Amino acid sequence: DHFPHVDPYPRNIMKWSASDVFDLVFQRMKHDALMRYNKNSGGVSGNDHDHDDDDDGSSGKKMILPDFKLRENDYVLGERKMGGNAQTITGNGWLHHTSFLWNYDQDNMSYLTLPSKRPDYRGDRSHDEFLVKLESVYGNRNDNGSNGDGDGDVATVLGSMSKEVFFHHVKSSCQESFDLEEAS
């Protein structure tokens, strides 16, 4: 009854959650990251669909952040999956669950095999090539200045953007989209 405009089928639920909830979250994450980048580096910012190398008179450094989108049955940043989801559908009710990959132990990826059933856009890419950590995109800084992938440049410039910022944007997006009450 709460979402009569969302037909109770997995793809419809994912399209709704991508457009009405998560798109706003990732727009805000991108905005925050680009604002921090510009503040800390004097660089220009862009989207992953901005491929011109024109300098606007600033330092000339450009930071490109991938766009969030729904690709087949996956939420992706650019061309890389950054989470998993599932739905339970019974009668006229449904529950949608998403787990985003903020970080994970890279060594554990070696235990995973290439699944026989996979989305077309994945092709034969390994888990390392197919998945992306949100932390590596939004530059959460470790004590040593790196973002966990051995590339400290973006992380050093962005500073302390953290999963707490991500949680904040998820919460505020949900509060704007739904009638929520906090419980402890």
pLDDT (0 to 100) of residue 64:
79
State pLDDT tens for residues 20-76: 999 999 999 998 888 887 777 765 555 554 434 333 334 556 677 899 999 998 999
pLDDT (0 to 100) of residue 154:
44
Helical segments of the chain, H only: 10-17, 23-41, 127-130, 134-138, 152-158, 163-177
State pLDDT tens for residues 120-158: 999 999 998 999 999 888 865 443 334 444 444 444 444
pTM summary value: 0.75
Task: Indicate the burial class of 147 (C-beta count within 10 angstroms; 0-12, 13-18, 19 or more).
Answer: buried
